[in-house]
Amino acid sequence: MRNSDSPTAVRRYRRAADFAAAAMIFLQDNVLLREPLRVEHLKPRLLGHWGTCPGITLVYAGLNGLIRRTGHRTLLVTGPGHGAPANHASLWLEGTHAELDPGLSRDEAGLTELVRRFSWPGGFPSHLSPAVPGVIHEGGELGYALSTAFGAALDRPDLLVACLVGDGEAETGPTAAAWHGNKYLDPVTGGAVLPILHDNGYKISSPTQTGSMSDEELCALYRGHGWVPRIVDVRGDYFDPEFDADARVDAALCDAWQRIRAIQDQARAGRRPEHPAWPMLVLRSRKGWGLPSEVGGQALEGTFNAHQVPLEGVHDDPRQLAALEAWLRSYRPQELFDADGSPADDILACCPTGDRRLGAVAEANGGQLRRDLPLPALDRFAVAVPRPGQGRVGATPTLGPWLAELMRATEHSRDFRIMCPDELDSNKLDAVLDATGRAWQWPVAGYAEHLDPSGRVMEVLSEHNCQGWLQGYLLTGRHGLFPCYEAFVSIVDSMVNQYAKFLKMAGEVPWRAPVASLNYLLTSEGWRQEHNGYSHQGPGFINNILTKKADAARVYLPPDANSLLVTMAHCLASTDRINVVVAGKNPSPPWLSLDQARAHCRAGAAAWAWAGSDRGGPPDVVLACAGNVPTVETLAAAWMLRRDLPGLRVRVTNVVDLLALPPPDQHPHGLSDDEFTACFGADDVPVIFDFHGYPSAVHECLHRRPNASRFHVRGYVEEGTTTTPYELLASNGVTRHDVAIAALQHAAGSSDRRDELAGRYARERDGIRADLRRTGQDPDWISNWEWT
């Protein structure tokens, strides 16, 4: 199988695309060089990365040919996203740009508009973005293209995902982990990922690791990861008509395609290969291919000087301006574009048509493929709560069977997955494995449980992989959940930062359809990691999410099992959000019936009348809480105060939606002034707030509320070790005793009785701490306290 397109036409296609890409970096006018190049034709600020552009164009042209021959739907994930000019140029040539924006028509006016918009205020950024057709991965932050590509290919048996991995990107830890995605991709139910390592030898100012490796070393490396690598060397003269780089790429793509189809055909015929030997390509090219070899004594093509903007002195140096014009004219644009600036017919004939174009494949705008999940009814999974606090039940063990039922309900649609860092059992969600297995393709020599090639639980000890897989899955129209130990989800802080930016920008693009929300379930929370110690105690992910745009950021802290069910159903039904849900896995008192949980979660925060002693009147003090463990401690403190000082009017308020705390003009979930007062009393009432995470998170949310200084927030203050649960709480000042003492100290008025009681509570707390250091365990009346 060989490309039926004329080799000359494909070469002309590349010349047109590379010319347009170079023009985007340098020009704002005279984009087809109809007249001699002058300084006023240049952009005042030169931005962009030229070095990788010719390689991207070469791959794009090769994929166009493969698509035209096979008709196979193909998605391109471009890791070196700062090579955006190359993508833009091919999107303009294939007509996708013009379809979505008539201002980018395929003529001189449209090309001029595209060139002007690139890296221009109000235009396209210098990297790929959601405003660019065909994009599900920006590439502005390196390391995540390959895991995103695998996520896109899951459960899409008729999709090929070509992933261009930059050689600088290949040095990152996330990319190193992502090569193992071939051990999870099912050739029956999934599509295929074709990685193309773009090895052009240099990063921004130094050699790349892969560029320093021999062909033999590279092949040994990737064979060890289970791939069948093929070296494609195109380090010849760009303008040499005898050097046919396109034929080399075409031959490699044809071979890769045949290998992919052989694997899929064999597996789909019931003969699964033990080691699916997927192909990959290593494209060796010259950095900045097509540039002059040197200008003014500075080496350009094939060096790191080509990485970003070569010829940076064109505004002031006539020799560089002349060199730029000579370089641009070397593409002979007058041969490529008609009188009105339209690309020549043979160039356009190299492009696929309709939704087979790389910029128009449906998965690149996955929201248009998204279907609502068939969420199971909650009633038969809910916990019976005859009275608040009776019994003990784990929140995630309650959620697990509901998620298992959701897995069964999506068995045929295959549009829901769980990505988890090897923690499903540990997080007490193992009921899911009754409905689906752990995805795994390779043979296992020893003992293993629940492995299934078509399983939809993906466990890997790489949070980066889980995040990338899930992003690719969501952005191509599916749904998912990311359970994780709370302390270790921060490994993906920078990834969620970039994803939040992607959602923000996508929301400003009229043709982008909403996608299912990115849902984190943070369990094995820090307050119950006393046995694993300080390293496992860290609630900082919440603080990171609070920095995100209010349109996207959500933080939920359900206080018990039924509220977790309600919260998770809400999150899985939402779109374009980043939902962080923090829940416990250990047995804990249930406080709310299912109907009460529904009402509480709708409100976001509410006073629990049954727990307070204010009897509907103005309170002397408010005890507020957010989080499973702080809720127990706060209710225990309220119980102690009611027992020992019944005259103290205490209101107990639970916050399930952390972003109910800001004013409504700061966040759409913010409580109105009246609702806020109903929860926290008048502006002069002190509030003791026992919080799951860092106190700064609550203070940030309350920033613009009147008299926010009345809130005395207790939370995690970086104290911890391997100890008992109570001792961990005490070391951070969040026990029931600490809450009760603070309430006595801050409540309006004073009395000797309050001072005496506060001292008694302090002595009792200190006595417990002394005893547990002797016995190694908390007293039973603390561990198994029950509301009465």
Q: Report pLDDT digits (tens) over 280-327.
A: 999 999 999 999 999 999 999 999 999 999 999 999 999 999 999 999
Among the residue ranges 78-82, 180-184, 514-518, the one predicted with the least confidence is 78-82
How does residue 173 score in pLDDT terms, banded at 50, 70 and 90? very high
Cα→Cα distances 269→187, 262, 311, 782, Å: 11, 11, 56, 60
Cα→Cα distances 55→214, 245, 508, 543, Å: 20, 10, 30, 40
Distance CA 525, CA 533 (A): 12
- Give buried/exposed letters for 753-766 (b at 16+ CB in 10 A, else e): ebeebbeebeeebe
Q: Class assignment of domain 605-783?
A: alpha beta
Contacts of 602 (CB under 8 A, 6+ apart): none
Distance CA 513, CA 366 (A): 7
The answer to whether residue 3 scores a pLDDT higher than 70 is no
Distance CA 389, CA 588 (A): 8
- Give 228's strand partners: 279
Task: Tell me what pLDDT residue 689 has.
Answer: 98
Listed in order, the ranges of the chain carrying CATH 3.40.50.920 are 605-783
Distance CA 420, CA 759 (A): 46
- Assign domain 7-361 to its CATH architecture: 3-Layer(aba) Sandwich (3.40)
Give the dihedral sign, CA 361/364/366/367: negative
Token representation of residue 89 = 């140029």
- Assign domain 371-582 to its CATH architecture: 3-Layer(aba) Sandwich (3.40)
CB 489, CB 520: distance < 8 Å: yes
CB 678, CB 672: distance < 8 Å: no
Q: What is the pLDDT of residues 750-769, one digit of tens each?
A: 678 899 999 999 999 999 99
Task: Tell me what pLDDT residue 141 has.
Answer: 77
Task: Tell me what pLDDT residue 2 has.
Answer: 46
Residue 265 CB neighbour total at 10 angstroms: 11
- Give the whole-number percent of the chain exceeding pLDDT 70: 99
Task: Tell me what pLDDT residue 574 has.
Answer: 98
How does residue 565 score in pLDDT terms, banded at 50, 70 and 90? very high
The answer to whether residue 615 scores a pLDDT higher than 90 is no
Q: What is the pLDDT of residues 703-728, one digit of tens each?
A: 999 999 999 999 999 999 999 999 99
The answer to whether residue 598 scores a pLDDT higher than 80 is yes
Helix axes 108-117, 7-26, angle to 10 degrees: 50
Contacts of 628 (CB under 8 A, 6+ apart): 395, 525, 527, 557, 558, 559, 560, 582, 583, 584, 588, 692
CB 685, CB 492: distance < 8 Å: no
Residue 577 CB-density burial (10 A; 0-12 exposed, 13-18 middle, 19+ buried): buried
Backbone angles phi, psi at 465, to 5 degrees: -65, -45
Give the dihedral sign, CA 625/631/636/639: positive
Span between the terminal Cα atoms of the chain, in Å: 77
Strands 687-691 and 711-714: parallel
CB 301, CB 288: distance < 8 Å: yes
Task: Tell me what pLDDT residue 1 has.
Answer: 46
Distance CA 773, CA 753 (A): 31
Tell me the mean pLDDT in the region 259-266.
98
Tell me the mean pLDDT in the region 156-163.
98
Distance CA 585, CA 564 (A): 11
Distance CA 711, CA 690 (A): 10
Distance CA 514, CA 577 (A): 10
Tell me the mean pLDDT in the region 440-445.
93
Radius of gyration of the chain (CA): 30
Place of tokens 């769980």: 418
How does residue 218 score in pLDDT terms, banded at 50, 70 and 90? very high
DSSP state of 164: E
Contacts of 339 (CB under 8 A, 6+ apart): none
Task: Tell me what pLDDT residue 140 has.
Answer: 73
Listed in order, the ranges of the chain carrying CATH 3.40.50.970 are 7-361, 371-582
CB 289, CB 237: distance < 8 Å: no
Q: What is the pLDDT of residues 622-671, one digit of tens each?
A: 999 999 999 999 999 999 999 999 999 999 999 999 999 999 999 999 99
The pLDDT mean for the chain works out to 96
Strands 192-199 and 279-284: parallel
Distance CA 55, CA 199 (A): 9
Please state the pTM of the whole predicted model.
Answer: 0.96
Q: What is the pLDDT of residues 95-126, one digit of tens each?
A: 999 999 999 999 999 999 999 999 999 999 99
